[in-house]
């Protein structure tokens, strides 16, 4: 009898890892009966032919957003006090006081934060959130689906979505084992563990230590190191195009060497367009000295701004825009969904670029999988003024403390140095690749090609 697994998508962020990789095929080849329990507006049945069960009730308790925000800020306050570290308040987003409704929500959240900013208080807040979500029609709806289909385990593809709380509570109340996959390398210290499940799957030993450090109610035997499918496509050589085929498809100049500029979202890097402009100026200057360089600009998939347009237009002889192949299926950031075709595109952008530059992006790992260096910008722009976030704050975050040394990336700390750094990387005089491979293993784990297989093996051991 095949074991029935519900792969649960509370939102679209897990599609990249668990729908568009070989994750499903590997699980089926190991004998699992897989149903995609789908809370998103993306139809896995229509688009991919997968067996899916749609969640049509999307109700949440009206107080959930307030309690969730209070829970996150209370946890960050606990982390600040417990670890005597001022980095944690920098993870907080400002309150919104525009309009009476937002004033009420902000004041209510602040009142809750004042009461519950202790370890015991956070546990009480989480229990209150669970009580609220058990009272919703979605909880009853999901419970009925689970009772009808009787899965042996529910695997939640991200730990950070409030939309998953009621569904996972329904599973737990029916005695069905639940697993949450910790979605990203920076999530644990940011207090982004929204759900409480029976087990947690993490990328690496580093992330396991973090889960146990920040969440004392989680026990060691609940956390499994599995790796992440996120980087598996970089080892699939069937995706590789020849340089000629890739350059022809995207109308690139075969005589040029290209540097990838990987864009950031506006929150992380509000002045990101000026770093692209700096790179364009450096490339133009080097070309005047005999180089033949271009820039591939790959935007952040969830950046809807027009802020780069003037820079791109002014440097259209240098900058070639190759947008990620993502599909917008809704108005929210998590309703911009990747497509399977983007794996091939990203593979070849990495493979056929000389190196990547960006502000603190995890694309450093995508490129090091192809043995390509990375420049991190870490200097202020003259356009920085009050109310605009300084990108230097990013490098102080906890997840950057996992770097084995500052040589894990090539840091550009002064605009004047950028041209020389670009030239030195091109001439192979400077590289972060070897140290970055150590960092990659620390963050991603020791077996990046086998994550999907390890996840299924671990699910099997839990069911047994």
Q: Which domains does the chain have, with CATH numbers?
A: 4-60+136-227+448-463 (3.40.50.2000), 64-131 (no CATH), 233-444 (3.40.50.2000)
- Find how far residue 296's CA is from the centre of its chain: 22
Per-residue confidence in pLDDT tens, the chain, 464 aa: 899 999 999 998 888 899 989 999 999 999 999 999 999 988 899 988 999 999 999 999 999 999 999 999 999 999 999 999 999 999 998 999 999 999 999 999 999 999 999 999 999 999 999 999 999 999 999 999 999 999 999 999 999 999 999 999 999 999 999 999 999 999 999 999 999 999 999 999 999 999 999 999 999 999 999 999 999 999 999 999 999 999 999 999 999 999 999 999 998 999 999 999 999 999 999 999 999 999 999 999 888 899 999 999 999 999 999 999 987 766 665 567 778 899 999 999 999 999 999 999 999 999 999 999 999 999 999 888 877 778 988 999 999 999 999 999 999 999 999 999 999 999 999 999 999 999 999 999 999 999 999 999 999 999 98
Query: If you search the block for the tokens 């000629």, which residue do you land on?
Result: 244
Report yes or no: 354 and 425 within 8 Å, Cβ to Cβ: yes
Query: Widest CA span of the chain, in angstroms?
Result: 70
CA–CA–CA angle 103, 62, 131 (5° rounding): 120
pTM for this model (two decimals): 0.94
Query: If you search the block for the tokens 């109610």, which residue do you land on?
Result: 217
Helices and strands, counts by H and E, the chain: 17, 15
Range list of H helices, 60-178 = 64-83, 100-116, 119-134, 137-149, 165-173
- Which distant-in-sequence residues (6+ apart) come within 8 Å of 404 by Cβ? 435, 438, 439, 442
Distance between CA atoms of 5 and 35, rounded to whole angstroms? 6
Distance between CA atoms of 228 and 219, rounded to whole angstroms? 21
185-235 pLDDT, tens digit per residue, is 999 999 999 999 999 999 999 999 999 999 999 999 999 999 999 999 999
- Which distant-in-sequence residues (6+ apart) come within 8 Å of 287 by Cβ? 293, 318
Distance between CA atoms of 76 and 82, rounded to whole angstroms? 10
Report yes or no: 374 and 367 within 8 Å, Cβ to Cβ: yes
């Amino acid at each position: 009898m095949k074991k029935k697994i519900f792969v649960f998508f509370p939102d679209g962020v897990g599609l990249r890892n668990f729908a568009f990789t070989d994750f499903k095929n590997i699980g089926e080849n190991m004998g699992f009966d897989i149903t995609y329990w789908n809370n998103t507006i993306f139809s896995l049945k229509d688009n991919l032919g997968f067996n899916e069960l749609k969640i049509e009730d999307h109700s949440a308790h009206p107080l959930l957003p307030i309690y969730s925000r209070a829970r996150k800020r209370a946890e960050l306050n606990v982390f600040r006090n417990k670890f005597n570290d001022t980095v944690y308040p920098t993870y907080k987003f400002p309150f919104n006081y525009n309009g009476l409704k937002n004033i009420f929500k902000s004041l209510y959240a602040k009142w809750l934060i004042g009461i519950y900013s202790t370890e015991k208080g956070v546990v009480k807040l989480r229990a209150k959130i669970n009580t609220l979500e058990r009272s919703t029609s979605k909880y009853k709806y999901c419970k009925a689906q689970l009772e009808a289909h009787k899965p042996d385990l529910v695997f939640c593809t991200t730990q950070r979505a409030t939309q998953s709380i009621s569904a996972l509570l329904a599973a737990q109340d029916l005695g069905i084992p639940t697993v949450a996959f910790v979605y990203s390398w920076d999530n644990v210290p940011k207090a982004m563990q929204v759900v409480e499940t029976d087990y947690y799957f993490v990328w690496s030993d580093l992330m396991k230590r973090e889960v146990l450090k920040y969440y004392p109610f989680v026990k060691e035997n609940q956390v499994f190191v599995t790796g992440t499918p996120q980087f598996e496509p970089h080892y699939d050589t069937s995706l590789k195009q020849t340089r000629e085929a890739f350059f022809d498809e995207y109308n690139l100049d075969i005589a040029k060497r290209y540097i990838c500029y990987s864009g950031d979202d506006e929150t992380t890097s509000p002045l990101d367009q000026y770093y692209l402009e700096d790179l364009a100026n450096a490339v133009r200057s080097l070309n005047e000295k005999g180089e033949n360089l271009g820039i591939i600009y790959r935007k952040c998939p969830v950046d809807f701004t027009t802020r780069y347009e003037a820079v791109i237009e002014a440097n259209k002889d240098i900058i070639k825009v190759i947008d990620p192949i993502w599909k917008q299926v809704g108005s929210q950031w998590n309703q911009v969904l990747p497509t399977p075709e983007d794996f091939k595109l990203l593979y070849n952008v990495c493979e056929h670029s000389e190196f990547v530059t960006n502000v603190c992006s995890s694309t450093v790992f995508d490129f090091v999988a192809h043995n390509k260096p990375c420049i991190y910008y870490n200097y202020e722009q003259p356009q920085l003024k009050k109310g605009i976030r300084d990108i230097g704050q990013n490098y102080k975050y906890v997840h950057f403390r996992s770097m084995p040394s500052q040589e894990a990336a090539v840091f550009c700390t002064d605009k004047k140095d950028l041209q020389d750094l670009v030239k030195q990387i091109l001439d192979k005089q400077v590289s972060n690749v070897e140290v970055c491979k150590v960092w990659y293993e620390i963050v991603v784990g020791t077996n990046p090609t086998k994550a999907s297989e390890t996840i299924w093996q671990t699910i099997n051991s839990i069911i047994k």
